């Protein structure tokens, strides 16, 4: 198969790997109450395993990206796939809450980072045309996780205990992910040992110069504020709807609407990014995301929640793949894992902040209004920071370091 066709194999592999990896990780909310009833562990204690997983992903992302730059994405994705399956199997056997938190939180989160970051970096290197669309399709695979793996986990736990169900998911992850990981390859420009900036036609830039550049810092800050904007609304909107008098079963469907709209948003923003430029679409999307979050303040009826969820999900899911595209347009391919890993680290920290902030706001004010107002403010911050991004001049040979 020629390279032009094989690049879509990479996209398909990334789509499947991302879906199973994130779907396995996000099976925890489905198992939450069965685990608590079986073990007597607190819901908060079990839930904290997910917070630990987000933090583990944050701090592992840049490290895995750097390793993938050096040894290639395939070994790293294989390690992540095997590690994810093994850690899920081990978590299903844990007999204390602390053991469960450490195994599911630290190891599952670290393994997930080893899958997503190298995949995104590899996909950006395989495409010179349709890059935004390709990255968005891989991201859409991740977005499919709640609509595929979560219902499967719910079906399993309805007929088995949670330990057996989690063990089955671990086995499924191993069977699907490990063989598919062998399809992942380095981008053609990096296949040769001597491939570098000169060989690939890219400007000379050291890794130190890249991570000290204003462009890198702005990407990290933008992604942090962007994810902090939508993480609180994603986590708390169902609870907010219930406080507005909407029955729980109906309130849960709001999340489904948001997820379906997000699938369409990823593809639409990918197409727009290819036509109009990643930065232009990202900046416009960040501004729209801020007001999309604020729209929830005015929702009270189920139809209004559906409308807000459709708009918000379409936008926030659509902007996320554009960070990888913007990174590829401005930094050398040989360090793409490190750069995308850095943005993933910032995004994971932003995702970890929202649920906690929303809980504190509700406990303080007995209302979610200030959560959405705060999300709007964070979204405006992301928009203003992104406006500061200036691509590297095409005729400039290296990055300009941040002044000391």
Give the model's pLDDT for residue 402.
47
Q: How confident is the model at residue 158 (pLDDT cuts 50, 70, 90)?
A: confident
Does the pLDDT at position 397 exceed 70?
no
399 falls in which pLDDT band (50, 70, 90)?
very low
- Tell me the C-alpha distance between 46 and 6, whole Å: 42
Greater model confidence, 402 or 254: 254
Radius of gyration of the chain (CA): 21
Q: What is the DSSP string of 119-187?
A: HHHHHHHH-SSSHHHHHHHHHHHHHTHHHHHHHHHHHHHHHS-HHHHHHHHHHHHHHHHHHHHTT----
Give 89-134 pLDDT, tens digit per residue: 999 999 999 999 999 989 999 999 999 889 988 898 888 888 888 8
HSE toward the beta carbon, residue 81, CA cutoff 13 A: 29
Most confidently predicted of 4-8, 126-130, 235-239, 325-329 = 325-329
The better pLDDT of the pair 168, 23 is held by 168
Pick the most confident of 212-226, 241-255, 321-335.
212-226
Q: Which is more confident, 120 or 196?
A: 120
pLDDT tops 70 at residue 2: no
Q: Report the pLDDT value the prediction gives residue 404, as an integer from 0 to 100.
A: 41
Rounded to an integer, the average pLDDT of 151-157 is: 86
Confidence of residue 400 (pLDDT cuts 50, 70, 90): very low
Q: Quick check: helix, strand or coil at residue 188?
A: helix
| Phi-psi region at 196: left, alpha or beta (left = phi > 0; alpha = psi -120 to 50) | beta
Q: Phi first, then psi: give them for residue 188, nearest 5 degrees.
A: -55, -35
**Where do runs of H (alpha helix) occur along 182-277?**
197-200, 207-211, 214-243, 248-276
The residue count of the chain comes to 404
User: Does the pTM exceed 0.75?
Assistant: yes
Residue 309 makes CB contacts below 8 A (sequence gap 6+) with: 237, 254, 255, 257, 258, 261
Short-list 393, 394, 377, CA closest to 385: 377
User: Model confidence over 232-256: pLDDT tens digits?
Assistant: 888 788 788 888 999 877 887 887 7
For the cut 50, the answer to whether the pLDDT of residue 27 exceeds it is yes
Q: Rounded mean pLDDT of 197-210?
A: 68
CB 380 within 8 A of CB 226: no
Torsion (CA) 260, 266, 269, 274 in degrees, nearest 10:
-150
Does residue 210 carry a pLDDT above 80?
yes
For residues 200 and 47, the model is more confident at 47
In the chain, the domains with their CATH numbers are 3-186 (1.20.1250.20), 206-387 (1.20.1250.20)
Arithmetic mean of pLDDT, 51-62: 88
What is the tens place of the pLDDT at every residue in 258-306? 888 998 999 999 999 999 999 999 999 999 999 999 999 999 999 999 9
The pLDDT assigned to 394 comes to 65
The percentage of the chain sitting over the pLDDT mark of 70, rounded to a whole number, equals 93
Banded model confidence at residue 225, pLDDT cuts 50, 70, 90: very high
Report which of residues 377 and 1 the model is more confident about.
Answer: 377
> What pLDDT score was predicted for residue 317?
92
- Give the mean pLDDT of 150-161: 87
């Amino acid at each position: 198969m020629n390279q032009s066709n094989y690049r879509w194999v990479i996209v398909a592999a990334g789509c499947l790997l991302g879906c199973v990896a994130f779907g396995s990780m996000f099976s925890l909310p489905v198992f939450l109450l069965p685990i608590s009833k079986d073990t007597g562990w607190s819901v908060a204690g079990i839930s904290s395993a997910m917070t630990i997983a987000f933090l583990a992903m944050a701090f592992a992302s840049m490290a895995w990206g750097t390793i993938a730059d050096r040894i290639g994405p395939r070994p790293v994705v294989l390690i992540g796939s095997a590690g994810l399956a093994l850690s899920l199997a081990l978590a299903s056997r844990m007999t204390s809450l602390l053991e469960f938190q450490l195994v599911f939180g630290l190891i599952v989160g670290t393994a997930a980072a080893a899958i997503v970051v190298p995949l995104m970096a590899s996909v950006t290197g395989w495409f010179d045309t349709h890059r935004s669309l390709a990255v968005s399709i891989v991201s859409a695979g991740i977005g499919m996780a709640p609509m595929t793996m979560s219902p499967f986990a719910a079906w399993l736990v309805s007929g088995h205990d949670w330990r057996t169900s989690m063990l089955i998911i671990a086995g499924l992850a191993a069977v699907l992910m490990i063989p598919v990981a062998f399809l992942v390859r380095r981008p053609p420009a990096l296949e040769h040992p001597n491939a570098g900036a000169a060989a690939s036609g890219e400007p000379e830039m050291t890794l130190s110069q890249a991570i000290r550049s204003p462009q890198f810092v702005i990407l990290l800050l933008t992604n942090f504020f962007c994810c902090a904007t939508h993480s609180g609304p994603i986590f708390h909107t169902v609870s907010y709807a219930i406080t507005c008098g909407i029955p729980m079963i109906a309130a849960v469907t709001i999340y489904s609407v948001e997820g379906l709209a997000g699938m369409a948003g990823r593809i639409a923003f990918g197409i727009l990014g290819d036509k109009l430029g990643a930065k232009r679409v990202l900046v416009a999307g960040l501004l729209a995301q801020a007001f999309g979050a604020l729209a929830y303040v005015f929702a009270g009826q189920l139809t209004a929640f559906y409308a807000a969820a459709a708009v918000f999900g379409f936008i926030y899911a659509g902007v996320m793949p554009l960070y990888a595209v913007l990174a590829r347009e401005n930094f050398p391919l040989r360090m793409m894992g490190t750069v995308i890993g850095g943005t993933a680290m910032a995004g994971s920290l932003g995702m970890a902040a929202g649920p906690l902030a929303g809980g504190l706001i509700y406990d303080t004010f007995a209302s979610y209004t200030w959560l959405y107002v705060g999300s709007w403010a964070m979204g405006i911050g992301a928009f203003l920071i992104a406006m500061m991004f200036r691509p590297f001049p095409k005729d400039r040979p290296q990055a300009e370091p941040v002044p000391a």
